[in-house]
Amino acid sequence: MISQLFILSSKGDSLIYKDSSVRGEAGSDVINVFYEKVMALPGDQPPVVMNHGDLHFVHVRQGGLYWVATTTADSSPFSLIEFLNRLASLVKDYCGALTEKAVQMNFALIYELLDEVVDYGYVQSMSSDVLKNFIQTEAVSPRPFSLFQLSNVGLFGAETQQSKVAPSSAASRPIQSSREQGGKSEIFVDVIERMSVVIGSNGVLMKADVEGEIKVKCYMPNCSEMRIGLNEEFSIGKSQLRADNFQ
């Protein structure tokens, strides 16, 4: 049974962390304990299995990252090593690479994979053919820098909306042919969100704002009426028009 799973960078930064134990018996400081043990060992090849009291660390190095599993039970270390190697291969299949940047850019996808692969500490199916039926998050591939992409760079190097928003599958579907053949009336709605978060040096959330827009392409005949239900805290424009006043 696996208590915790985490992926660390070569500098010990936590990239992915998942607590699979029911009671959290392993504690929250296992990452620091593991990295301190690794750094205290001579040489560049620490032992694959290390102990800290009743807690056992099993890890492999893939892509310059530490892939670590902890357990308090008498689990077979060879089974955990095989699991970590297959997990690294699975992440590489989905993300395209095993690098720190790839893991950071696809953290949501990796957490979704872990939710399907490990259930309360027990390993489930790790077949890509099976998991593709459940994984909904699409992988994000890092792109090399190009001077031709400077048009998408905004203030202070932030990417503009055009570079961040990927066209949805619905918006890219051909609609002209269906209209010419008298197909069904269609309407496409894209909800684009941008989140701004300010976190203090102590890790406390100080401010969180969500901004965005709703884009609608309507091919309904005769100007059909459409109603959209919005949250009461939703505000529109600089006038701060509330959603309950929006029609």
pLDDT at 69: 92
For residue 146, give both structure tokens: 């190009």
Region of residue 199 (left: phi > 0; alpha: psi -120 to 50; beta: else): beta
Single-letter residue type at 194: R
pLDDT at 219: 76
For the chain, give the number of residues.
247
For residue 82, give both structure tokens: 């095989």
| C-alpha Rg value of the chain to the nearest Å | 24
Phi, psi of 117 (to 5 degrees): -85, -40
- 101-118 per-position pLDDT tens digit: 999 999 889 999 998 898
Listing DSSP states for 22-91 in one string gives SS-TT-S-HHHHHHHHHHHSSSS---SEEEETTEEEEEEEETTEEEEEEESS---HHHHHHHHHHHHHHH
Confidence of residue 59 (pLDDT cuts 50, 70, 90): very high
3-class DSSP state of 114: helix
pLDDT at 84: 93
- Taking the C-alpha atoms of residue 8 and residue 60, their distance in angstroms, rounded to an integer, is 11
Which of 161, 116, 118 has its CA nearest to residue 136? 116
Residue 179: pLDDT over 50 = no
17-21, 77-81, 86-90, 220-224: range with lowest mean pLDDT: 220-224
* Number of neighbours of residue 33 by Cβ within 10 angstroms: 17
